[in-house]
Amino acid sequence: MFSSRKFLPLLGLGLLSAFGCTKENPSPTAGLNNGVDASLSSNALLRDAQASPGFVLRSKQYIIIATGDQLPANIEAQATAANGKVTSQLREVGLAVATSDDPNFAAKAAKIAGVRSVVHDFTYQGFEPQPNRVMEETSINVNPPSTGDSNPLFPLQWGATAIQAPAAWNTGNQGQGVLVADLDGGFELKHPDLVDNIVGSISFVPGESAQFSGPATSSSHGTHTAGTIAAADNSIGVIGIAPKAKLLLVKVLGDGGSGSFSWLIQGILYATQQHADVVNMSLGAAVPRNGKYLDDAGNVINDTKATQELLVALSKATSYATKNGVTLIASAGNDANNGNQDKSVAHIPADATGVISISATAPIGWALAPLTANLDRFASYSNYGTPAITFAAPGGDFAYPTNEIVTFRGQRQYVWALDMVLSTGRVSSAGQGGYTWMAGTSMAAPHATGVAALLIGKNGGDMDPARVEAALRASVDDLGKPGRDPYYGYGRVNALRAVSQPN
């Protein structure tokens, strides 16, 4: 699973002070002003939510991969002759999706002239649904919006501080004129921090709209990532890294966090056709390279070519996107996997051609020393390796060793919770926006995406992806060993340095 590993919703915010915090004994939990039950500090919330990604072969659905970038002109008729039915043609990249009850369909369809291979589509768990509580926001107006201080929850957004986002905004660069497509699960389309920046939404999940409609006890992963990218600077709640960028919200995972490989491909192509400047993908799965899968009936399937061909199919889509000027950014994954040693899995979409892969950073005990805490510690769960990681960005962590409670900037909360990333969450029945803490490379990727949006906006838009990556590389804070290293890649993104470069 490539998404957030833990989350904690925020409820009942009090007045936010400048820097003050007081420590308390870890045992008393009654009276926490965020309403978190004592039970949530037990294994229910402290457990490692990073379970097996659940990569399951869909026995009756297939992806047809053309030899080149063009499907055979008569692919529908040819598939019918092979006892199948084409349900979707992605002619821009030479792919088609088909269904068939014939177990020999793949072998038959692979013999069609102009077809490279036919593989089963797969379902994967892109993020883990978890219990959720929603906070109704309190608005506090203090200073001009450009400082970030007039948004009452901004003082809890340590990630923006880590990458010098406020200083970047004060240069006049806030993502103006940039379109960011966020590929994720469902979204709260009427969240007050998002609604003014949303220019469109679509769902590739059959039977589900783009609007998040999960159970009341679940969190909205897509809403959280969208807020980190481009929550408006509107004096309501949080601020996104590119608060004036526009959002195209593309649902490629169901509200429960699972999705088909073909939905992801269709989402990338749609974002490209809509002229997105950047695509954020806080999702993915670890695909076994040995070709051993479970199908949707629970049978063990051995297909050694499947992983290779799935990466070929995905790379057709990502190459098409980058050739058309779209910068692609994805989360690296939350398995603490050393890609230099463990070659048993391929990470999708992070390993696909042209995709910028983001690892996660976080403080430990930030609320106890907000002015001196190291915000760039490598997160405990983040995947790493060379060349697996391109850049690092704030993703949050939950590694603080106790359930100590602190009163920090008016908020009485667990110390480890404040080390996670705060962003937009569920909307209440009264229409008020909620906010949730999450941690994972899913939270790191949208920080990097926001910086890319600032950079593209500063350069007037329509920026070649290779140029975007080069500019990000030139502006990072080079943490870890000099140059590219397995943990931070080329370095942790820096918004101010990114927009301070000459065009």
- The residue written with tokens 């969240």 in the block is 191
Q: State pLDDT tens for residues 67-76.
A: 999 999 999 9
Same domain, 203 and 64: no
Amino acid (1-letter code) at residue 136: E
Q: Are residues 74 and 17 in the same domain?
A: no
Query: Is residue 102 domain-shared with residue 134, that is, in the same domain?
Result: no
Residue 18: the pLDDT is: 26
> Residue ranges of the chain with pLDDT lower than 50?
1-7, 9-53, 130-148
Record the pTM: 0.89
pLDDT of residue 428: 82
My answer on whether 62 and 40 are in the same domain is no
Residues 89 and 71 in one domain: yes
With a CB cutoff of 8 Å and minimum separation 6, the contacts of 470 are: none
What backbone phi and psi angles, to 5 degrees, belong to 102? -85, 115
| Domains of the chain: total | 2
Give me the half-sphere count of Cα atoms (radius 13 Å) on the Cβ side of residue 160.
Answer: 30
Residues 485 and 385 sit within 8 Å (Cβ to Cβ): no
Report the pLDDT value the prediction gives residue 261, as an integer from 0 to 100.
96
**Residue 6 CB partners (closer than 8 Å, separation 6+):** 45, 46, 49, 130, 398, 420, 438, 439, 440
pLDDT cut 90: percent of the chain above it = 72
Token pair belonging to 282:
């806080």
Length of the chain equals 503
**Does residue 1 lie within any of the structural domains?**
no
* Beta-bridge partner residues of 87: none
Domain-located, residue 2: no
The reply to whether 110 and 140 lie within a common domain is no
Q: Is residue 258 part of a domain?
A: yes
Report CA 317 to chain centroid distance, whole Å: 18
Contact (Cβ atoms closer than 8 angstroms) between residue 393 and residue 163: yes
**pLDDT given at position 141:** 30
Q: Are residues 120 and 140 in the same domain?
A: no
- Read off the CATH number of the domain in which 73 is found: 3.30.70.80
Whether residue 442 contacts residue 65, with contact meaning beta carbons closer than 8 Å, is answered with: no
Q: Give the range of the structural domain holding residue 92, as residue numbers without chain letter.
A: 56-125
Residues 6+ apart with CB under 8 A from 214: 129, 186, 220, 255, 256
Bridge-based pairing of strands 355-362 and 377-378 is: antiparallel
28, exposed or middle or buried, with CB in 10 Å at 0-12, 13-18, 19+? exposed
Whether 77 and 181 share a structural domain: no
Give the active site residues: 184, 221, 442
CATH number, domain of 245, equals 3.40.50.200
